[in-house]
Structures are given as structure tokens and as C-alpha cells.
């Protein structure tokens, strides 16, 4: 079925269900057999709708939806078991229906967490911490309103455990809603229907427990259960359920204003509940429970702050990397090269060391780009940068100077630099060549003056026919002193090194 057809089916389902909910809630007494039949049939209808939604929308992740079906099935089984008790005129507590009902909550929560990747601590740590903070505050409310009375003596252990399980189940469902809202999944109509459905279920459970705790008449909640079933089915039937669980482009856990309000509310919830408890009970407060909740929330806030600090530090590191690394080649950029040249010149000036600076320019790079295209040119730059960097010593530096030009900072003698240049020529990828200029630092010239001499040597190499490097030595030295290439030369692979062949090297003063 086409998406438009599925959307029309979804609209028709919601319209018919809304009419039925209104009619049953307003016209049919809750104690009547019709109301009981409607309340019993709606889970079955929801199971059928969810199965239909899975078959029509074909979500990439089916397991979470099958868990929701299993949850509804467990609830229906519990209703059937309890109905048998009622038919025999008994309503025991606890009964065999309770394990099915409680299992339904667990299966539903598991399905929800799988849908939103809610248990991936490493991937979404901050959002999980936010959820825990709010849940701890809500847990104090559940303790004060429901659980505290259940730990009083006079109640058997099995009755006490089952009675405590239902408020905790409602708390877990509300925590599931908060986790869904703090997750980084894409939010569509299916997402919001499911959020509202689980919220209604949590409110329904809280209302029922309140009626029980206050020894009030239990009733009036069937329409809420029907709304929950309708929305759960609508979430499965809407076409957006196919992409449910896909990660959004927005980073999770960011300190947005709404997230800050959520964290602030979680921090204030425990003390506010303590104040309300003191007012209602006329000064008799459960200080131990409130203190424990405040301590837990405080520890979670510290963990959240540590996470935020790490996030800021990681972002600062990435910004620094962007500022000093070339985005295309991954090596140092012009800004990094300028700063490093100044730093190394200062060190060499203090230590009396020698320093050689070079510029490399890929020959006929524009022609290469025009013939093969800019993607091929970018690939050549990346491969050349990687290959050249692998040929350098640990103390040497190569950086992208601009365009197809690369800067070099080498330590040692000019003869050492010549050996490095020969290695770079051999490593140049795709049969390409380069022209280069080298200059020996005089010991007192500035970085700008040294770079100007290197640039002049580069243009000499290009003017003399490319595929060579030009060396400018110390301006105060003689040709014999500068012609370092003629000393201690060794043949390479049975021939004279390229650096000694005619125009492969040009030495200037």
C-alpha cells in the first residue's frame, strides 16, 4: 500500500476510535457489560492494528514492536485470568493475573528503550543521566504517596511486594517517557503518539494507585485505558513508524534551555516534595528518603557537569584541530606552519642549531585538475601529503602551504635535506613531479626573510624547467662551501643520485 493510503487508513482509525471512546465514556456506564466488553476488546484491537502497521510500514527494527505486542498480550492474558476469578466470585490479591500484568509493563518498557536506543550509555550518557535525575525526584513522590504506607507492619510479604510493584511500574513508564523525550531519535507523528500513550498509561496507573491508597471507589479510568490503546495502535499504523529509532542530526545531551529547565526541575523536586510533606503531615517529614534522593540527584548533577566539561573540552580540541590542520590532507595547515616555524627558529637561535626550510610545488597541477577533474586533484593532494609525511623524520614537519604548495621544516645539514628531497621525489604518487626550493637559515634572519629566500629558490627551480629543487645556502658562504652535494656522495641503485644529475639540483648563493 502507498504511503498516502496508509496515512488515510491511520486517519480513519483515529477518527473511528475517537468516536467510540467518546460514546463509551459518556453514554455507557462503566459497570455495564458493554463497558467491560469494550475495555476488553480494545487491547485485542490494538494488537491487530500494531501487526497491521508492521506489515504495511515494514520498519527496519521489528523487535521493539513485537515486544509491544507481547506486552499487550500479557495484559490481555492477565485480564482473562482475573476475569475467571471474577466469574467464580473471588478477587484475590495477589493473584495469578498479577505476574502477567507486571510482565506487560516490563515488556513494554523494553520495547520503548529499544526503539530509542535508550540503554546505550556510551552513546547517550548525558540524556540517561538527565532521565535518572528526574526519575529520582519522581521516585520520592511515589515513595511519599504510595510506597511508604506499604512498608508498615501487618501486611504479608507477598502482598507487600506485589502492591509495591505497581507504583514502581508506573514510575518506570514515566521514566520511559522522559527517556524518550531526551533521546536523540527522530521525532515524527508515531513518536509523539507513543509518548502521549505511555504518559496516559503512567497517569492511569498513578490515578488507580491513588484511589487504592485513599480507599476511594476505584473507577472512571476505562476511557484513559482506551485512549492509551488507541494511541499505541496509531503510533504503529502511521507511516513514520518505519523510521522510528533513526538518529536525528542533532547532538544528544546538549545544554539547551529546555534541558537546563529539566535538570533544574529535577534538582528542585526533592526539596519541594520535602516541604510539601512537612506541610501535609504537620512537620513530620520523611527526612531519610528525602536526604537519600537529594544525595543521589547531587551526584548525578556532578556526573552531568563532568560530561558537559568533557564535551566543551572535546569541542575545543576539535576547533583547535580545525584551526591548525588542513581539512583536505589532514596535515598541518599554513597557520600551524607559520607558528611552528617561529617556534623552531627561536629554539634553534638559543641552541645554535641549523634549520632548513623548503617549499614544494606540484608541477602542472592546474593541467592535472583540468584533465582529470577536481576530485582527482584533491585525491592527488591527499596521497602526496600522506606519502611525503611518511618519508620524513619524526622531528621534521610538512604542512600545506596553500593550493598545491607544501612547506617543509627540516633539521640537520643541507646534505641531509637533499636525501630527504630525493625520498620525497620517489614517493610522489601517480607519476607526478614537483619543484622545490630549500634555504639554510642564516642564524639571525626572521621567518619572513627566510621564507622569501625559499620562495625565490622555488621559482628558480620552476623557471629552470621544473622537476627539480633549488638550494640557496648561507649568503656569506662560498660556492665550494655551499656545494654540499659533491661531498660523500654514494651511487643509488648503481647510478648517480638524481640530485646530482644536471638540472635535478640547482645551487644558489
Sheet holding 469-472, edge to edge: 397-402, 405-411, 355-362, 434-440, 469-472, 505-508
At 436 the three-state DSSP class reads strand
Q: How high is the pLDDT of residue 490?
A: 32
The candidate with the shortest Cα–Cα distance to 402, out of 332, 493, 492, is 332
Q: How high is the pLDDT of residue 120?
A: 65
- For the chain, the residue count is 509
220-253 pLDDT per residue, tens? 677 788 888 889 999 999 998 888 766 655 555 5
**DSSP codes, 119-182:** T-TTTSHHHHHHHHHHHHHHHHHHIIIIIHHHTSTTS-HHHHHHHHHHHHHHHHHHHHHHHHHH
Domain map of the chain by residue range? 3-318, 334-508
Helix (H) or strand (E) holding 508: strand 505-508
**DSSP codes, 224-275:** HHHHHHHHHHHHHHSGGGGGTTPBPSSPTT---HHHHHHHHHHHHHHHHHHH
Count of Cβ atoms closer than 10 Å to residue 451 Cβ:
19
- Residue 385, Cα to own-chain centre: how many angstroms? 31
189-209 pLDDT per residue, tens? 999 999 999 988 888 887 777
Which pTM value belongs to this model?
A: 0.62
Q: How high is the pLDDT of residue 504?
A: 44
DSSP 8-state secondary structure symbol assigned to residue 216: P
Q: How high is the pLDDT of residue 509?
A: 41
The tens place of each residue's pLDDT in the chain, 509 residues long, gives: 677 888 888 999 889 888 877 777 676 666 666 666 666 677 888 899 999 999 998 888 888 899 999 999 999 999 889 889 888 888 888 889 999 999 999 999 999 888 887 556 666 777 888 888 888 888 888 787 777 776 666 777 788 888 888 888 888 888 888 888 888 777 889 999 999 999 888 888 877 777 776 666 666 677 788 888 889 999 999 998 888 766 655 555 566 777 778 778 777 877 887 787 778 777 677 778 878 888 888 888 888 888 888 888 888 888 877 778 888 998 999 999 899 999 999 999 998 888 999 999 999 999 999 899 999 999 999 999 999 999 998 889 999 998 899 999 998 888 888 889 999 999 999 889 999 999 999 888 899 999 999 999 999 999 988 998 888 765 544 433 344 443 433 333 322 334 333 334 444 44
Q: Does 334-508 carry CATH code 3.30.70.270?
A: yes
Amino acid at each position: 500500500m502507498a504511503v498516502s493510503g496508509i496515512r488515510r487508513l491511520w486517519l480513519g482509525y483515529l477518527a473511528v476510535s475517537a468516536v467510540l471512546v467518546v460514546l463509551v465514556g459518556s453514554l455507557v456506564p462503566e459497570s455495564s457489560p458493554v463497558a467491560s466488553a469494550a475495555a476488553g476488546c480494545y487491547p485485542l484491537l490494538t494488537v491487530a492494528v500494531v501487526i497491521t502497521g508492521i506489515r504495511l510500514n515494514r520498519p527496519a527494527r521489528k523487535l521493539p514492536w513485537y515486544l509491544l505486542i507481547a506486552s499487550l498480550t500479557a495484559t490481555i492474558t492477565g485480564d482473562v485470568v482475573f476475569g475467571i476469578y471474577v466469574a467464580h466470585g473471588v478477587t484475590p490479591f495477589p493473584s495469578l493475573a498479577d505476574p502477567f500484568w507486571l510482565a506487560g509493563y516490563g515488556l513494554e518498557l523494553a520495547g520503548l528503550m529499544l526503539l530509542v536506543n535508550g540503554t546505550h550509555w556510551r552513546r547517550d550518557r548525558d540524556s540517561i543521566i538527565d532521565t535518572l535525575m528526574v526519575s529520582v525526584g519522581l521516585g520520592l513522590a511515589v515513595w511519599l504517596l504510595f510506597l511508604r504506607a506499604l512498608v508498615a507492619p501487618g501486611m504479608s510479604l507477598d502482598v507487600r511486594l506485589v502492591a509495591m510493584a505497581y507504583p514502581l511500574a508506573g514510575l518506570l513508564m514515566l521514566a520511559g517517557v522522559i527517556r524518550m523525550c531526551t533521546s536523540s531519535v527522530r521525532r515524527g507523528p508515531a513518536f509523539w503518539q507513543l509518548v502521549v500513550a505511555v504518559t496516559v498509561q503512567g497517569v492511569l496507573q498513578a490515578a488507580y494507585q491513588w484511589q487504592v491508597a485513599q480507599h476511594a471507589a476505584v473507577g472512571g479510568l476505562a476511557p484513559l485505558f482506551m485512549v492509551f490503546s488507541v494511541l499505541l495502535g496509531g503510533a504503529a499504523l502511521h507511516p513514520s513508524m518505519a523510521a522510528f529509532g533513526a538518529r536525528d542530526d542533532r547532538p544528544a545531551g546538549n545544554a539547551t534551555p529546555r534541558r537546563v529547565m529539566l535538570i533544574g526541575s529535577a534538582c528542585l523536586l526533592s526539596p519541594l516534595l520535602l516541604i510539601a510533606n512537612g506541610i501535609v503531615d504537620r512537620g513530620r517529614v520523611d527526612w531519610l528518603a528525602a536526604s537519600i534522593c537529594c544525595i543521589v540527584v547531587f551526584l548525578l548533577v556532578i556526573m552531568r557537569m563532568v560530561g558537559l566539561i568533557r564535551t566543551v573540552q572535546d569541542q575545543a580540541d576539535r576547533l583547535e584541530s580545525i584551526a591548525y590542520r588542513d581539512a583536505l590532507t589532514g596535515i598541518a595547515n599554513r597557520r600551524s606552519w607559520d607558528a611552528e616555524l617561529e617556534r623552531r627558529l627561536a629554539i634553534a637561535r638559543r641552541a645554535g642549531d641549523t634549520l632548513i626550510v623548503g617549499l614544494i610545488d606540484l608541477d602542472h597541477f592546474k593541467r592535472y585538475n583540468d584533465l582529470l577533474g577536481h576530485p582527482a586533484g584533491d585525491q592527488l593532494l591527499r596521497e602526496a601529503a600522506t606519502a611525503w609525511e611518511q618519508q620524513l623524520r619524526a622531528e621534521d614537519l610538512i604542512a600545506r602551504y596553500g593550493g598545491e604548495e607544501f612547506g617543509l621544516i627540516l633539521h640537520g645539514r643541507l646534505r641531509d635535506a637533499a636525501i630527504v628531497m630525493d625520498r620525497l621525489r620517489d614517493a610522489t604518487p601517480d607519476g607526478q613531479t614537483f619543484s622545490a626550493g630549500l634555504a639554510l637559515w642564516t642564524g639571525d634572519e626572521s621567518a619572513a626573510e627566510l621564507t622569501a629566500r625559499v620562495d625565490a629558490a622555488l621559482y628558480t627551480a620552476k623557471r629552470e624547467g621544473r622537476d627539480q629543487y633549488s638550494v640557496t645556502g648561507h649568503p656569506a658562504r662560498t660556492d665550494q662551501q655551499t656545494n654540499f652535494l659533491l661531498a660523500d656522495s654514494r651511487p643509488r641503485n648503481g647510478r648517480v643520485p638524481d640530485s646530482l644529475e644536471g638540472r635535478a639540483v640547482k645551487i644558489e648563493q
